[in-house]
Amino acid sequence: MSFLKVESDVFHTLQIEKIVLFLLEQQGLLASKLEKLREQHDALEQQPEISQITELREGYRVVGYDLLKLLYFVEMNAIGLRKILKKFDKRFRYRFTDYYVKSRANHPYSQLQQVFKHVGLGAVVGAVSRNLHELQDCQGSYLSIYDPPALPLQDPVVDSIKAAVDRLTHSTNFLNFMAQHALIMQEELPAPAEEQIDEERYHYVSLLLNLANTFLYMVNTYIIVPTADNYSMSLGAAATVCGIVIGAMAVAQVFSSVYFSAWSNRSYFRPLVFSSIVLFVGNAMYALAYDLNSLTMLLLGRLFCGFGSARAVNRRYISDCVPLKIRMQASAGFVSASALGMACGPALAGILQINFKIYKLTFNAMTLPGWVMAVAWLVYLIWLWFSFKEPSRDVEENNSPHASDSETAEKNTLEKATSIASAYRLLTPSVKVQLLIYFMLKYAMEILLSESSVVTTYYFSWSTSTVAVFLACLGLTVLPVNIVVGSYISNMFEDRQILLASEIMVCVGILLSFHVIIPYSVPQYVCSGLIMFVSAEVLEGVNLSLLSRVMSSRLSRGTYNGGLLSTEAGTIARVIADATITMAGFLGQSQLLNITLLPSLLICVISIAATCFTYNSLY
């Protein structure tokens, strides 16, 4: 088997090398044509003639279409190579060529980096685009009323080339880093016909509504964190019951993610309407619990909020209904909306420090988060009802009647996962390790955020406003950190190097958070918390970036997709973390900090060891 593996590896490497060398050769020929056209262009500037301008512009168009054909050639070869590798795996029942193209594409010495850096392609596209624009301006100076109408600002061939380059390449800039942070799975390179379908399904306002849902849900999640301990005590419970109050939302989200993901196979509008109604009811119940003096009502309100989590729908809408050329921006918008909501939630709680009554309803720092979010979801529901456009699903259901038997067999081998168990079987050891890392970082972050009000009140006597400012400042670090990592650090180091370094820094932050001998101080808590949180944010982005590249393409669509698996891993981590806080509270607030940090440290050490074990397979 090892001999077959080596032989196959050499064969496919040679095939990739042929494609890459052919691409580079053709780029050189196109560059030569552009150089000759440029000489004609310079000569034409001295004595401009409309007929020659038209002829020269047509020459640039021909070069553009030649480049487009070249890109389609490389695209077809990339897809064909992947299909060959998948059939090879199926025939020999040994998965040693899984993710071959993806892993080789991101290897530091890969020949595909010649393609993916696309410096040559970018130069050709830029030359064609710039010269066409100059010639259009030049011709415009000589037009009369008898001439044909003016051309559009950008020649269609330029748009087609840019779309093809976007499909083929994987850039390492900030936008792509943020998009992968959302873990919105994508299938194989789409054909131009599929892009047309995407254009027909896309609706800008509907995308905005999905991003608004993401933002409001994150605000809803974190707006109660600064006041959850006081609310619990006002209802006769211990301060550490805040762990259950905060975690109840995550418990419900474990189940809601599955049924919302399944529901989004049939509709996007109805799940969002249901989500808004449930969240409105849940927040109203949360606010009414104070006047009813009912801890049960409080917990039920948070459970209802969790059952309204439509993040699976938001991800699916971007993945299924947003055209490829702006999908990266939409995915980055999803991450930005989440980060902004995470920062605005605690900040809003810090502002709502007022106290008054209307009839028998109490409005104070504990109930106002519920009332404010209930009103916000009601306004959102009205906007959703009148503005959302349900995408047409007719195009998805039409199958080509001329599909060959081999294509049918290929589709059968790439069927979507039909259950959590079948999805789990598609995971390789490296993917399992990355899901473990995601679990670890979400657990550590939830411990830090959820127990912040209890810990800071016990050690430093912080007020609700101070806790809110601290949490808001943590949330505001998300986007700057991602900018630095996505724009600079990811261009200097491999993802796996950043991954391991971030894990070690999370471990350092956890170790510095322990209260051992010396008196616990504000600088120690703030600095250790900042190190842990920022490192976890870097780790999350890099981890999901790697995960989106190496996860099986069979997990790109369907109910049980890669986004759902990562969401479930993170949500379960939050549930366990919040339960840990509540259980540790029985030992007293003096022991809460160290007891809750111990599991975080243990899981972090295990994840570092697992990363080292699978390091060579992480590209």
Evaluate whether residue 529 is within a structural domain: yes
Question: What average pLDDT does this structure show over 159-173?
Answer: 58
Percent of the chain with pLDDT over 90: 35
pLDDT over threshold 50, residue 395: no
What is the gyration radius of the CA atoms in the chain, in angstroms? 28
pLDDT over threshold 60, residue 208: yes
**What is the Cβ-side half-sphere exposure of residue 459, based on CA atoms within 13 angstroms?**
24
Which tokens in the block code for residue 488? Answer: 């600079």
Cα 121 to Cα 127, 134, 293, distances in angstroms: 10, 20, 67
pLDDT over threshold 80, residue 165: no
What is the number of domains present in the chain? 3
Amino acid at 55: E
Per mean pLDDT, which range of 62-71, 79-88, 534-543 is the poorest? Answer: 79-88
For position 554, what pLDDT does the model report? 64
DSSP letters of 166-216? HHH----SHHHHHHHHTT----SPPPHHHHHHHHHH--HHHHHHHHHHHHH
**Are residues 235 and 381 part of one domain?**
yes
Nearest to 585 by CA among 229, 302, 298: 229
For position 85, what pLDDT does the model report? 64
Question: What average pLDDT does this structure show over 208-228?
Answer: 94
Cα 449 to Cα 8, 99, 437, 526, 533, distances in angstroms: 50, 37, 18, 12, 9
Q: Higher confidence at residue 531 or residue 326?
A: 531
Residue 194: φ, ψ to 5°: -70, -30
**Are residues 467 and 566 part of one domain?**
yes
Evaluate whether residue 357 is within a structural domain: yes
pLDDT over threshold 50, residue 47: yes
Evaluate whether residue 352 is within a structural domain: yes
pLDDT over threshold 90, residue 445: yes
545 three-class SS: helix
Residue 515 per-residue DSSP state:
-
For position 138, what pLDDT does the model report? 62
Q: Are 391 and 270 in contact (CB under 8 A)?
A: no
Per mean pLDDT, which range of 280-289, 333-342, 465-474, 588-597 is the poorest? Answer: 333-342
How far, rounded to the nearest angstrom, does the alpha carbon of residue 228 sit from its chain's CA centroid?
A: 29
Amino acid at 264: S
Question: What average pLDDT does this structure show over 164-185?
Answer: 58
Q: Higher confidence at residue 198 or residue 135?
A: 135
**Are residues 440 and 546 part of one domain?**
yes
Q: Which of 368, 390, 412 is the last residue of a domain?
A: 390
61-92 exposure pattern, b = at least 16 Cβ within 10 A, e = fewer: bebbebbbebbbebbebbeebbebbbebbeee
Evaluate whether residue 413 is within a structural domain: no
**Are residues 212 and 163 part of one domain?**
no
Evaluate whether residue 239 is within a structural domain: yes
- What is the spatial distance between Cα 303 and Cα 246, in angstroms, rounded to a whole number? 10
Evaluate whether residue 190 is within a structural domain: no
For position 112, what pLDDT does the model report? 56
Give me the domain span that covers residue 317.
Answer: 200-390
Residue 485 per-residue DSSP state:
I
Category of 427 on φ-ψ map: left (φ > 0), alpha (ψ -120 to 50) or beta: beta
**Are residues 101 and 209 part of one domain?**
no
**Are residues 383 and 250 part of one domain?**
yes
3-state SS track over 256-294: HHHHHHHHCCCCCHHHHHHHHHHHHHHHHHHHHHHHHCC
Question: What average pLDDT does this structure show over 193-199?
Answer: 53
- What is the spatial distance between Cα 525 and Cα 539, in angstroms, rounded to a whole number? 21
For position 259, what pLDDT does the model report? 87
For position 91, what pLDDT does the model report? 63
Residue 390 per-residue DSSP state:
P
Question: What average pLDDT does this structure show over 580-594?
Answer: 90
E strand map for 319-394: 356-358, 361-363
**Are residues 441 and 327 part of one domain?**
no
Unique residue bearing structure tokens 């004595």? 47
pLDDT over threshold 70, residue 377: yes
**Are residues 439 and 358 part of one domain?**
no
**Are residues 357 and 436 part of one domain?**
no
CATH code of the domain in which 346 resides: 1.20.1250.20
Q: Which of 390, 413, 446 is the last residue of a domain?
A: 390
Q: Which of 343, 371, 390 is the last residue of a domain?
A: 390
**Are residues 278 and 161 part of one domain?**
no
Per mean pLDDT, which range of 79-83, 311-315, 503-507 is the poorest? Answer: 79-83
Confidence of residue 5 (pLDDT cuts 50, 70, 90): very low
Q: Higher confidence at residue 405 or residue 387?
A: 387
- What is the spatial distance between Cα 229 and Cα 449, in angstroms, rounded to a whole number? 12
State pLDDT tens for residues 500-517. 999 999 999 999 999 988
For position 134, what pLDDT does the model report? 72
Q: Higher confidence at residue 503 or residue 64?
A: 503
- What is the spatial distance between Cα 327 and Cα 189, in angstroms, rounded to a whole number? 13
**Are residues 211 and 95 part of one domain?**
no
In total, the chain counts a number of residues equal to 619
Residue 400 per-residue DSSP state:
P
Per mean pLDDT, which range of 379-383, 526-530, 562-566 is the poorest? Answer: 562-566
State pLDDT tens for residues 459-485. 999 998 899 999 999 988 888 887 888
**Across all residues in the chain, what is the average pLDDT?**
78
Other CB atoms within 10 Å distance of the CB of residue 237: 18
For position 561, what pLDDT does the model report? 67
Greatest mean pLDDT among 188-192, 325-329, 588-592 lies in: 588-592
**Are residues 160 and 254 part of one domain?**
no
Question: What average pLDDT does this structure show over 292-314?
Answer: 93
Which tokens in the block code for residue 264? Answer: 């989004």
Evaluate whether residue 148 is within a structural domain: yes
Question: What average pLDDT does this structure show over 136-149?
Answer: 49
State pLDDT tens for residues 525-563. 999 999 999 999 888 888 877 776 667 666 666 666 667
DSSP letters of 344-355? HHHHHHHH----
For position 534, what pLDDT does the model report? 92
pLDDT over threshold 90, residue 611: yes
Evaluate whether residue 408 is within a structural domain: no
Question: What average pLDDT does this structure show over 518-525?
Answer: 93
Which tokens in the block code for residue 285? Answer: 């119940």
Unique residue bearing structure tokens 């077809």? 76
The angle formed by the CA atoms of residues 97, 100 and 102, to the nearest 5 degrees, is: 150
pLDDT over threshold 60, residue 184: yes
